[in-house]
Amino acid sequence: MTNDATLGSEYVNIYNDTGKLAAEKVPVEGLDPSRNSAIVKILYEMKRTIVIDLDKIQRSLRTGEIGGEYCKLPHYAIPDIAILDKAEHIRERVEGFIRVSNHDDTRVELFDKGKRLLIQLPKSIMEVSADYTAPALVGGSATAQAIVDEFEVDPLKAQACSTAIFGRYPSTIDFKGGAITSALGVPLRLEHLGYGWRTISSNVIVSIANKNAMKSAALSGCFEMSYLVNAGNLVGRYRRLYLLGFAYECLNAENLVYDTVRVLGKKGTTGRVICEIIERALERGVVKVKEKLPSGFTIYEPADLDLWNAYAASGMLAASMVNCGAARCAHSVSSVMVNYNEMLLNESGLPDVEFGRAMGTGLLLDFLTHALYGGGEVGLMNANHPNLKTTKLFAMPCVCAATALDAGTLTYPPEKSSGIFSQIFKEVPEFKNPFESIAEAALKSNLRRK
């Protein structure tokens, strides 16, 4: 049984990261990535973007250490090559190779004082691409050809230019030791079909959001929802579950996340967040009392299961922000996910987030980041990892929000591993103001359907 009839008449009020109303009566159906032009824009910009490290290419070619550590081939070295000095010339050549027409949306720019080259493929190339590897392959090939042409590299050493860019690929399934950075992981590393949008790490998302916790959660939710579309999970019975979860947890519907953090941010605990969420759910008729035991213990049940799950997920994000924000440390997010769901289930009788999946995800994340890996970095995690793949949508926004609130305890913080992405997308409205952009697009989507 589907909930299309219910969804067609369901609306929410979206509030932004400062608790201000972004849009009223936003249709829940309009938050589907396939119907929301703002999310489509976010996905398009992410998919067509790569960064090439010109400084690393220069060092590799000068020393002959191409393909990463232990790959030293001195006979391929070009000791006097000055790529950074000719960075602008290389940029112009690359743009000439990539641009399809004079007025297309190709973007080739230098960043970091000419040390890095941003490449965004035009729409005409992306439309004929079978997957999202075209930017790396086309951009990398164009850069290699530009270097060979600019410095008139002889044919025997030209392959070294390619290896300096692509690393050990295709001997490895990724660009190990190369100079290409992409927000998306290589398809051969996908845990399952349709997982492409889950390969974006927490650090990349937090960098794009400029370390804003709620914007990080919103952008993370966009990628998770797009995965759900790709994987066929946003159809049928679960469609309303995930659309409402996205609206409430990631887009702060009815100001639930922001207001909970505002009330409990100073002296709150995970338990108090649970109480706050249940109280609000009771007030709004989302849950009701099922039974009161002789001991005085009250058992609740959801009046609307999908909506209750959205409330519970919002509470999990709020609890993560309250705890990780107080500690100024991202590492406790896995423990928050476990304890929040366990206490919610045992203290109220209500279903926990996604009916056990979020708790299971938290347990594995806790084990792999604090035991087996000896303190693994949550900032480096993505939803394609065995840690986070179990629950759909609900865990990754918590991890991203926690990473954004970290104040320096991570060995590989966002600004160190992925800082370039904050510069690339800083002027794109959909990344700067995801709440307003997505809500506005959802309203327009509803008007088009009418």
Provide the annotated active-site residues. Answer: 373
Q: Closest Cα partner for 172 from 188, 190, 192?
A: 188
- Taking the C-alpha atoms of residue 147 and residue 178, their distance in angstroms, rounded to an integer, is 15
* Dihedral sign (CA 335, 336, 341, 344): positive
Amino acid letter, 79: P
Q: Which two tokens stand for residue 136?
A: 């790396």
Q: How far is CA 346 from the centre of its chain?
A: 31
First to last CA, the chain: 25
Cβ 359 vs Cβ 339: under 8 Å: no
* Close Cβ partners of 10 (under 8 Å, ≥ 6 residues apart): 27, 28, 29, 240, 244
Q: Phi, psi (5° rounding) for residue 43? A: -65, -45
Q: Which two tokens stand for residue 424?
A: 């690339």
- Taking the C-alpha atoms of residue 441 and residue 31, their distance in angstroms, rounded to an integer, is 8
Q: Closest Cα partner for 93 from 55, 143, 134?
A: 143
Q: Phi, psi (5° rounding) for residue 11? A: -135, 155
CA atoms within 13 A on the CB side of 142: 26
Cβ 379 vs Cβ 413: under 8 Å: yes
Q: Closest Cα partner for 223 from 248, 254, 194?
A: 194
Cβ 277 vs Cβ 311: under 8 Å: yes
